[in-house]
Amino acid sequence: APIVPIGDKLLFPGYDLFFNIGGIANLSANQDAFIGFDVCPANRILDLLAAGTPKGFDEDGNLASTGKTDENLLGQLNTFPYYQLPYPKSLSNEFGLHEIYPLIEKANLSMPDALRTYVQHIADQVSKALVLLKREMGGKDGLHLLITGGGAHNRFLVEQLRAAVRPAGILCEIPSKNLVDYKEALVIALMGVLRWREEINVMHSVTGASKDSMNGAVWSV
């Protein structure tokens, strides 16, 4: 959702790029005009694929790490029209549930292979988006990427992301566990404070609107 970048801008000015791995993976970038957009479904699909495991998710990406990438399925996933659209853009959970997941089911892969293939899909789409952002930011090496969200705990996924963006000279950093887990809550609280102070809390450069806006309501109770 295109609301977190206001927090990225105000709370973490030392970073160039921000990647949140939640149910949907999204990126934001500290350009002249701060931008943000959804990249692809992430944990929502990985958790569905690992639903039959004792914990209901692929802890540390251990299962995915034992699988093999199905190149045919990966090619189909990477050709969804959404990925060709320019930002700003946003995804709903329905895209993952009704478009992505049925395609993976149809491939009839083992659980490790399905997980491995989808991890690669995430890495492919994120690296492609980051290369585009790097080019738009002047092409300099050494850009710092802050990774947060539940997916930051997925060791194998993070390893694949690091490998995918390393050729682009992008440096990945995972902060403390508290920041990984509660960054979105922190940003929502910040947006509430900004609304209380009657200040802008949503930027038009990430929503596609014509101007910045002040969202939310203050109620007397």
Question: Per-block average pLDDT, block size 10, for the chain (221 residues)?
Answer: 84 94 94 89 98 95 98 98 94 96 98 99 97 92 95 98 95 95 94 96 90 93 84
Q: What angle do CA 133, 71, 65 make, to 5 degrees?
A: 80
What is this structure's pTM? 0.93
Residue 196, both tokens: 């209380």
> What pLDDT shows up at residue 2?
65
Q: What are phi and psi of 58, to 5 degrees?
A: -90, 90
**95-to-152, 180, 201 alpha-carbon distances in Å:** 22, 25, 27
DSSP state of 13: T
- What is the 3-class SS of 69-116, one letter each residue? CCHHHHHHHHCCHHHHCCCCCCCCHHHHHHHHHHHHHHHCCCHHHHHH
The β-bridge partners of 24 are 41
| pLDDT tens, residue by residue, 97-135 | 999 999 999 999 999 999 999 999 999 999 999 999 999
- Domains in the chain, start-ordered, CATH in brackets? 5-183 (3.30.420.40)
The β-bridge partners of 143 are 170
Burial class (CB in 10 A: 0-12, 13-18, 19+), 69: middle
Q: What angle do CA 91, 155, 166 make, to 5 degrees?
A: 80
> What pLDDT shows up at residue 133?
94
Residue among 168, 149, 192 at smallest CA distance from 28: 149
> What pLDDT shows up at residue 1?
52
Burial class (CB in 10 A: 0-12, 13-18, 19+), 185: exposed
